[in-house]
Structure 1
Amino acid sequence: MKIKQKIEEIKKQTYVLYLACKKKETPVISKIFAIIVVSYALSPIDLIPDFIPVLGYLDDLLIIPLGIIIAMKLIPIEIIKECEIKADEKLKSDIPEAKIAGRIIISLWILIIIFILYKIFSIIRFNPKYN
């Protein structure tokens, strides 16, 4: 299978997991794991930064596909098949949900960074050792 086809398949499977998370019939544990996998796949921040030679692409080549495989095995096959049909239909058109999900993830990372910076500056400001 060509690399471009494999990437498209991973995108589709990620979207299938996203759709499966929205279904009430999906078991809770499966939803939690699938949410983690989808969030990590869409997140601009990696566990291992890409600028680290060889190891930087390890998550893109191993962690995400492995997470997708495990999540797909945790979700009942009927739900996966139903979501695959919806994903095929939706991927032929524009995916507004993916854009929204991307914005939410970026917003969460920005909020986390702001919170950390706030905590650092409040410690520095109120600590007499730094004044």
Structure 2
Amino acid sequence: MFTRIISFISSSRRDILILFTALFNRNTPKMIKTMTIVAFLYLISPIDFLPDMIPGLGLLDDAVVVPGILYAMLQMLPASVRAKSEAQADYLGPKMPWLLAICGIFLIAWTIFVFVAIYNFIFN
């Protein structure tokens, strides 16, 4: 059971990387780009079809809706875009921990900057 869960997570990670790299490809249809952004926003948004406060069901919609949308978008990608995006995802895959660390540091620095700016604006 755990091996199936781990394989699902690792395959989803690769699919997410494929769609992420496809976002920056000129030949990717605008509908797929829009659906990718909407799926990401739905995943992080506090508004869900089923509220997260309902035990079990709240997370179930995220676990079903988002992978379903990702699978549908991968199937709609043109073959040339998908091949190029898969190559880029395979290149970026091993570098992902470093990229996430850099993004995390940038996000923390930006948050500190915003809080300092707001503090100085309010109290000075």
TM-score by length of structure 2 reads 0.66
Matches within 5 A, 1:1-16: 2-16=4-18
Specify the alignment match of 1:68 in structure 2: 70
SS in 2 for 1:26: coil
Cα shift at 1:97? 9.4
Cα shift at 1:63? 0.5
Over the aligned positions, Cα root-mean-square deviation in angstroms equals 2.6
Cα shift at 1:38? 3.1
Gaps of 5+ in 2: 112-124
C-alpha contact (below 8 Å) 1:16/1:83 kept by paired residues: yes
Cα shift at 1:69? 1.1
- Paired residues in the alignment total 101
- 1: CA distance, partners of 2:102 / 2:39: 14
Task: Tell me the alpha carbon deviations over residues 2-45 of structure 1, each in whole angstroms, 9 at most, x when there is no partner.
Answer: 1012012112211211111111111111211122123334x264
Runs of 4+ more than 4 Å apart: none
- 1: CA distance, partners of 2:89 / 2:102: 12
Gaps of 5+ in 1: 108-131
C-alpha contact (below 8 Å) 1:14/1:38 kept by paired residues: no
TM-score by length of structure 1 reads 0.63
Cα shift at 1:46? 5.8
Bigger relative contact order, structure 1 or 2 (CA pairs below 8 A, ≥6 apart): 2
Structure 1 vs Structure 2: percent identity of aligned residues?
23
